[in-house]
Amino acid sequence: MSAIDWTIIGLYLAWIVWDGIRMSRDTGKIEGYFLASKSLPWWAVGLSVMATQLSAITMTSSTGQGYADGIGLLQQYYALPIAMIIISVTFVPFFRNANIYTAYEYLERRFDARVRSMTALLFLFSRGMGTGVVISAPAVVLSVLIGADISTICVLLAVPTAIYTMYGGVQAVAWTDVKQMYLIVFGLVAATVTLVTGLPDSISVTDALTLAGTAGKLQAFNFSTDPSVRFTFWTGTLGALFLFLSYFGTDQSQVQRYLTAKSDAEAQTSLFMSAYWKIPLQALVMIIGVLMFVFYLFTPPPMLFNSVHEQRVRASARAGEYAGLEQRFTAAVDARSAAAQQLAQAERLGDSTAIAAQQAAFRDSEAQVKGVRTEAVALVKDVTGDRSYNDVNYVFPTYIVTQMPVGLIGLLMAAIFAAAMSSIAGELSALATSTVMDFYRRWVRSDADDAHLLRVSRFAMLFWALFASVVAIWAAELGSLIEVVNRFGSFFYGSILGVFLLAIGWSRANAIGALVGLVAGMSVVAYFTLYTNVAFLWHNLIGAVVVFVVGMIVSEVTGPRKA
């Protein structure tokens, strides 16, 4: 990267820290620090909700999945608008009328302190781990780009975020989220424009999409009922519905957002921003992956996008084997490029016989390219010992650095930083809020004044920033990052949602029922995770249903009372 691009990234980092501190108001009081004194407008809350959910993983791993497998991942978001309606009807008025700081506080009022503490503890554990994964995505990207140690980059990324979050609390988080969201959208649009203008003159956008469609990259709907298939219309609408209900309805990082809104109506409206825009935004991300696939049909791609791993294989005893694969890869890529040109030509002429023949030739050559890449990835795993190596995470960053103009490279990298920092900041704020309000104030110092709680809150944020950085280093060793995040979430999400559904939906539910149901739900999800190949999105539904049913039965048996 050039000095100009590094300067842009540096300016962005300095500006966002300064802006976060500048926009903080009323942070001398705990309500101002954690709830922005319930003063934020709906659009700021809405953008903050979207920015927290859209992490650097979305920018790097999802675009890579679009490149490798097409837009099927998009199905995971189909239930989001429906989830938002359900949440705005149920959770939003419940939480706001309860006048609480954390979602789990509500469970103490409904059940008892044990249920609150247990769900808060699960949140802290799973979200602390998840934040680590969110940090590791851009760290992995930068480690390949500049050859720096991943752990150093994790800390460098977490520290600026921790500074403005510690200083300004949730207001700093929300207002920086707004700016970061603008930067992210600008970056995505700029990447799309660059990709489209980078196509050969003979290939139009329609040609590009037809080629992608022929290669099976535009399958936005998969109606398979096989429960082991990860992304289908059914996992996206039923399984993911429970994931979103849990994430937006019970996860402190999201609940805290709509607790900061001026009114119930503004909180509900902020959620509808995601309902309207999340699917189109995610579609844009996936289309960038698909356009990269088309771009690399006509511009020879590297066989592997992780140059560090590639160099290690070249320096190993199996370098000859790798060179042989490269020769086959080059031949397959050339054949695919020729087949793509001929297919586009046949499409323009409208010759159905030629189209069918060229489609077969194009698909065959694409299969060969994929086959060689699979062999190359297996070779990398053997040589490096990195069993979870997933090349797709490196596709978009490599495209940015090698194909985009100077200046835009810096802006795109800043956008990836923005995506990571907006998510990290939201999570740190939520983790600190839960730590202080659900544990410290509840169990240690219930009489503490605001000044004392603020000091503890800032210390808690620092602790979670360090914890997440350590997890990030470990998470970088795992597989495709987006799935890792969702796996962490799915293990607990469904079960925690089940407890809230029990609290809101079953008037005779009691604390014993909630606790037994929670343990039962997590046990069943653990069984499905360890011993079956049922897709992880189903785990949310399974967990929620088990908790609700078991909790209901136990409550009926033990009586409608507090334990």
Partner 1 sequence: MSSVRTTYVKVIAVWAITLAALYAFQVYFSR
| Least separation in angstroms between CB 290 and partner 1 | 10
- Binding-residue total with partner 1 (CB under 8 A): 25
| Residue number, 140 or 212, with CB nearest to partner 1 | 212
Encode 456-497 in three state secondary structure. HHHHHHHHHHHHHHHHHHHHCCCCCHHHHHHHHHHHHHHHHH
Residue 279 near partner 1 by CB under 8 A:
yes
- For residue 143, what are the contacts with CB-CB under 8 A and spacing of at least 6? 149, 150, 153, 308, 476
| Strand, helix or coil for residue 145 | helix
Among 3, 197, 225, 280, binds partner 1 (CB under 8 A): 280
In the structure encoding, which two tokens stand for residue 3, read together? 């000095």
> What stretches of 58-112 show up as alpha helix (H) in DSSP?
63-69, 80-89, 91-98, 103-110
| Residue number, 216 or 324, with CB nearest to partner 1 | 216
Residue 49 near partner 1 by CB under 8 A:
no
| Least separation in angstroms between CB 257 and partner 1 | 18
Among 21, 121, 283, 338, binds partner 1 (CB under 8 A): 283
In the structure encoding, which two tokens stand for residue 468, read together? 């997440």
CA angle, 521 as apex, 487 and 491 as ends, to 5°?
10
Of 489, 71, 69, 419, nearest to 240 (Cα)? 489
| Least separation in angstroms between CB 199 and partner 1 | 15
Among 21, 275, 526, 563, binds partner 1 (CB under 8 A): 275
| Least separation in angstroms between CB 365 and partner 1 | 18
Q: Are 414 and 5 in contact (CB under 8 A)?
A: no
User: Taking CB under 8 A as the rule, which mask of x and - marks residues 247-266 in contact with partner 1?
Assistant: ------------------x-
Q: For residue 200, how many other CB atoms are within 10 A of its CB? A: 17
| Residue number, 276 or 527, with CB nearest to partner 1 | 276
- The residues facing 40 across adjacent strands are 261
| Least separation in angstroms between CB 356 and partner 1 | 10
Residue 82 near partner 1 by CB under 8 A:
yes
Among 41, 81, 200, 479, binds partner 1 (CB under 8 A): 81
Among 34, 78, 164, 500, binds partner 1 (CB under 8 A): 78
Residue 74 near partner 1 by CB under 8 A:
yes
What is the Cβ-side half-sphere exposure of residue 244, based on CA atoms within 13 angstroms?
28
Q: Are 136 and 484 in contact (CB under 8 A)?
A: no
Please give the helix or strand (H or E) that residue 431 lies within, else none. helix 408-434
Residue 276 near partner 1 by CB under 8 A:
yes
| Residue number, 225 or 533, with CB nearest to partner 1 | 225
User: Taking CB under 8 A as the rule, which mask of x and - marks residues 198-237 in contact with partner 1?
Assistant: -----------xx-xxx-x-xxxx----------------
| Residue number, 129 or 281, with CB nearest to partner 1 | 281
Among 4, 85, 308, 323, binds partner 1 (CB under 8 A): 85
| Residue number, 82 or 553, with CB nearest to partner 1 | 82
Query: Which amino acid, 11?
Result: L
Q: Are 558 and 515 in contact (CB under 8 A)?
A: no
| Residue number, 78 or 538, with CB nearest to partner 1 | 78
| Least separation in angstroms between CB 452 and partner 1 | 41
Among 61, 252, 268, 341, binds partner 1 (CB under 8 A): 268
| Residue number, 219 or 529, with CB nearest to partner 1 | 219
| Residue number, 256 or 359, with CB nearest to partner 1 | 359
| Least separation in angstroms between CB 171 and partner 1 | 27
Of 71, 93, 78, nearest to 216 (Cα)? 71
Q: Are 98 and 105 in contact (CB under 8 A)?
A: yes
| Residue number, 200 or 213, with CB nearest to partner 1 | 213
| Least separation in angstroms between CB 84 and partner 1 | 7
| Residue number, 270 or 429, with CB nearest to partner 1 | 270
| Least separation in angstroms between CB 71 and partner 1 | 8
| Residue number, 197 or 352, with CB nearest to partner 1 | 352
| Least separation in angstroms between CB 38 and partner 1 | 20
185 class by beta-carbon count within 10 Å (0-12 exposed, 13-18 middle, 19+ buried): middle
**What's the sign of the alpha-carbon dihedral 557, 559, 561, 563?**
negative
In the structure encoding, which two tokens stand for residue 505, read together? 């939906």
Q: Are 529 and 536 in contact (CB under 8 A)?
A: yes
261 class by beta-carbon count within 10 Å (0-12 exposed, 13-18 middle, 19+ buried): buried
| Least separation in angstroms between CB 218 and partner 1 | 5
| Least separation in angstroms between CB 269 and partner 1 | 8
| Least separation in angstroms between CB 209 and partner 1 | 5
Counting every residue written for the chain, the total comes to 563
| Least separation in angstroms between CB 267 and partner 1 | 12
- The residues facing 68 across adjacent strands are none
In the structure encoding, which two tokens stand for residue 114, read together? 């044990």
| Strand, helix or coil for residue 40 | strand
- For residue 192, what are the contacts with CB-CB under 8 A and spacing of at least 6? 284, 287, 288, 291
Residue 41 near partner 1 by CB under 8 A:
no
| Residue number, 214 or 434, with CB nearest to partner 1 | 214
| Residue number, 217 or 309, with CB nearest to partner 1 | 217
Residue 361 near partner 1 by CB under 8 A:
no
Q: Across 224-309, where does the E strand assignment appear?
A: none
Q: Which stretch binds partner 1 (CB under 8 A): 276-284, 297-305, 436-444, 522-530?
A: 276-284
Of 85, 180, 86, 73, nearest to 426 (Cα)? 180
The site for partner 1 (CB under 8 A) is made up of 74, 78, 81-82, 84-85, 209-210, 212-214, 216, 218-221, 265, 268-269, 272, 275-276, 279-280, 283
